[in-house]
Amino acid sequence: MKVIITGSTGMVGRSTLNECLVNDKVKEILIVNRRELGILHPKLKELIHSDFTDFSKLANEFSGFDACFHCMGVTSVGKNEDEFTKLTFDITKSLADACFSANPEMVFNYVSGTGTDSSEQGKTMWARVKGKTENYVLNKGFKDAYMFRLGALIPEGEVSSGTGWYKYIYILMAPLSPLLKKLKSVTTSSKFGKAMINSVHANQDLKHLEGVDINQLAGND
> Domain locations in the chain?
2-218
Q: Where are the alpha helices (DSSP H) in 10-90?
A: 11-22, 59-62, 81-85
Is the pLDDT confidence value at 166 over 50?
no
First vs last C-alpha separation in the chain: 15
Is the pLDDT confidence value at 163 over 50?
no
How many CA atoms, within 13 angstroms, populate the side-chain half-sphere of residue 49?
22
Q: What top-level class would CATH report for the domain 2-218?
A: alpha beta
For residue 36, the tally of other CB atoms under 10 A from its CB is 10
Dist CA 97 CA 84 (whole Å): 19
- Min mean pLDDT across 18-22, 36-40, 196-200 is at 36-40
Average pLDDT, the chain: 89
* 85-116 pLDDT per residue, tens: 999 999 999 999 999 999 999 999 999 999 99
- The more confidently predicted of residues 36 and 179 is 36
